[in-house]
Amino acid sequence: MISKLVSGTAEALADVPDGATIMIGGFGTAGQPMALIDALLEQGAKDLVIVNNNAGNGTTGLAALLGAGRVRKIVCSFPRQADSQIFDGLYRGGKIELELVPQGNLAERIRAAGAGIGAFYTPTGYGTPLAEGKETREINGRRYVLEYPLHADYALIKAELGDRWGNLTYRKTARNFGPIMASAARVAVAQVRRVVELGELDPETVVTPGIFVQRVVQIDAPRAQEQQ
Amino acid sequence: MSNRLTRDQIAARVAQDIPEGAYVNLGIGLPTLVANHLPAGREVILHTENGMLGMGPAPAKGEEDYDLINAGKQPVTELPGCAFFHHADSFAMMRGGHLDICVLGAFQVSRHGDLANWHTGAPDAIPAVGGAMDLAIGAKDVFVMMELTTREGRSKLVETCTYPLTGVRCVSRVYTDLAVFDLRNGEITVTDLYGDATPDSLRALTGLPLAFA
């Protein structure tokens, strides 16, 4: 019998090695897998490369992981925020590497990795500092920049419902990076609010088919809260 | 400067140019004001790049759902007919040319429609781009909404942007507190003049060749 269910977050992340590339879902607190991020902090792996839209807020979650000196590099679109003081300090001190990627290119690079695409030409960023040094090409009169896929060893995502085959549904705008990150990682770990019986999810409404998901852990936490 | 349009008046002017049936993305900051000025009964579908079409206004106090937010991470509501989707689909809607109009703020716009709105170029600034570059090239029409002058009184509509670019030749119209500018192949046509702005004062301020409709 297939079961991707694991009993807790510690078990879900037990094998994360030093130096791993880890995608973390979420946009704001929506879709942010807080329990998994806390477990990663607890687990102790270091020298990590993190892929996330932002670079941590306040002093908890991803910010705490950065603050503990566990992240070598972050790939994101919007690191600087009103409460990104931990990242700001590390960056100014030269203690973390930043790869800044326009948000849509970030999403498409993740999608491309999951879809087995070798590279793609995108109009986003053409003629800007973020395209410097990259290959460009004119296709049918429009100019494009060559971008490469972003793969990960692990993806930590948050979903609403999941079953033992790893099928997932999401809730409202908490979907954001979840489906594409799941597909781009060797091991996708989904924190779900509730595990349901196989067959309970309407197949027409499954958003992430279980083939993209390796581990499911139920965390009945309160819904996303305002960012503090 | 009471003879300039207020931010709300600029937003109302932009709203006039958003037709029934349009799919529209309103950028973070000033452009979000445009939503308040869309006339009741005109069906316009708002896109938010974190993954929703058919976005409604802010919820009543106490009704916030932080799984339901906009690109500025503020709580919003669902309108009947709304839809959710993941980030790659959301940016495909932009890059793929499916959005009709995107309204953005700007530090500078060049006469050719180059846009600078993500970075001041200050060496100690921590860069952050978000969806700005995707939005800049991702709609059939990109409208910029801004005050025409900097705090020092310099024009933000310029011959060549001095700030780092967000997108190349992507802006089609610039709505400001002194005038509305239509940009086409390096030619600038002023379609609206406000307050005591005159053709001569605008030419002097911008230093650009301007035609007047």
- Locate the domains of chain B by residue range: 7-212
Contact (Cβ atoms closer than 8 angstroms) between residue B190 and residue B199: yes
The full DSSP string for B144-168 is EE--SB-TTS-BSEESS--SPPSBS
Concerning whether B20 is annotated as a catalytic residue, the answer is: no
Q: Which residues of B touch A129 (CB under 8 A)?
A: 119, 164-165
CA distance A181 to A109: 10
Partner-chain contact B67 A177, CB within 8 Å: no
- Please give the domain boundaries of chain A with CATH numbers for all domains: 9-218 (3.40.1080.10)
What pTM does this model have? 0.96
Min Cα–Cα distance to chain A from B55, Å: 11
CA distance A89 to A65: 14
Judged by a CB distance cut-off of 8 A, whether residue A129 touches chain B is yes
Structure tokens at A150: 């972003």
Min Cα–Cα distance to chain A from B2, Å: 32
Contact (Cβ atoms closer than 8 angstroms) between residue B177 and residue B4: yes
Instruction: Give the ipTM of the model, two decimals please.
Output: 0.95
Partner-chain contact B166 A124, CB within 8 Å: no
Closest chain B residue to A179, measured at CA: B86
Superfamily of domain B7-212: Glutaconate Coenzyme A-transferase (3.40.1080.10)
* A104, A128, A178 ranked by CB distance to B166: nearest: A128
- Residue A179's alpha-carbon distances to A32, A207, A222, in angstroms, are 13, 7, 22
Structure tokens at B188: 């600038």
Partner-chain contact B67 A30, CB within 8 Å: yes
Contact (Cβ atoms closer than 8 angstroms) between residue B183 and residue B171: yes
Partner-chain contact A78 B84, CB within 8 Å: no
Q: What is the pLDDT along chain B (213 residues), one digit of tens a residue?
A: 458 999 999 999 999 999 999 999 999 989 999 999 999 999 999 999 999 999 999 999 999 999 999 999 999 999 999 999 999 999 999 999 999 999 999 999 999 999 999 998 888 889 999 999 999 999 999 999 999 999 999 999 999 999 999 999 999 999 999 999 999 999 999 999 999 999 999 999 999 999 999
- Sheet with B108-110, side-by-side order of all strands: B115-116, B108-110, B157-158
| A contact residues 18-47, partner B, Cβ 8 Å cutoff | 27-31
Partner-chain contact A223 B66, CB within 8 Å: yes
